[in-house]
Amino acid sequence: EQERLRREEQARLEAIARAEEEARRKAEAERIEAERKAEEERLMAAAQAAEAAGDKQTADALAEAAIEVTEAAKEEVAAVVSEPVTVAPVVLPKATPKLQGGPVYREVWSAECVDVVVLCRAVSEGKASRECVLPNMPALNKMATALKNTMNIPGIRAVSRRV
């Protein structure tokens, strides 16, 4: 089922890529045609101006140039349109099938403290959040029970309460 869905998605993406390539080629052909028309009109206007001025030879040469431009542009459009559509194949990663009864693994990240002193220094310098350092309350409570009022640890206070 996953393989079928992957193939369908790949075919859909290839169809989109083909359509985009066709649109690009059509736009290119339209651009070439517009340039051809502009050039032909310019040459024909120059030919008419030359003919009106009585220069028949220049008028004929410009009219011939206009025809050549038209033919060259038509050949260029034909080349662009007849060019085969080459679309890079879309490669989708295969879905990893879940093996029946076999192990399936996933990656889980966690942190481990390799040097408490360096961590505490980083917290004091503001390079790490205070949330990174938590007091070890079971160990501190045992020390408070043993030392009572004589417990003297900076940032820690021994508290007595009746129960």
> Taking the CA of residue 50 as centre, how many other CA atoms within 13 Å lie in the half-sphere pointing to its CB?
15
- Name which of 70, 93, 104, 112 is nearest 9 in CA terms: 93
Query: In this structure, are 114 and 160 located in the same domain?
Result: yes
Could you tell me if 117 and 29 are in contact, meaning their C-beta atoms sit under 8 angstroms apart?
Answer: no
φ, ψ of residue 156 in degrees (nearest 5): -125, 140
Helix axes 56-82, 2-52, angle to 10 degrees: 180
Query: In this structure, are 64 and 25 located in the same domain?
Result: yes
pLDDT tens track for 73-116:
777 777 766 766 665 666 666 655 556 666 667 787 778 888 88
Query: In this structure, are 64 and 122 located in the same domain?
Result: no
Number of domains in the chain: 2
Lowest-confidence range among 6-10, 35-39, 102-106? 102-106
Question: Is 91 within a domain?
Answer: no
For the cut 90, the answer to whether the pLDDT of residue 145 exceeds it is yes
How confident is the model at residue 146, as a pLDDT? Answer: 94
Query: In this structure, are 12 and 60 located in the same domain?
Result: yes
Query: In this structure, are 114 and 158 located in the same domain?
Result: yes
Would the pTM count as exceeding 0.75? Answer: no
Give the residue numbers spanning the domain of 132. Answer: 110-163
Query: In this structure, are 7 and 68 located in the same domain?
Result: yes
Q: End of a domain among 65, 82, 99?
A: 82
> Taking the CA of residue 64 as centre, how many other CA atoms within 13 Å lie in the half-sphere pointing to its CB?
6
Distance CA 32, CA 13 (A): 29
Question: Is 128 within a domain?
Answer: yes
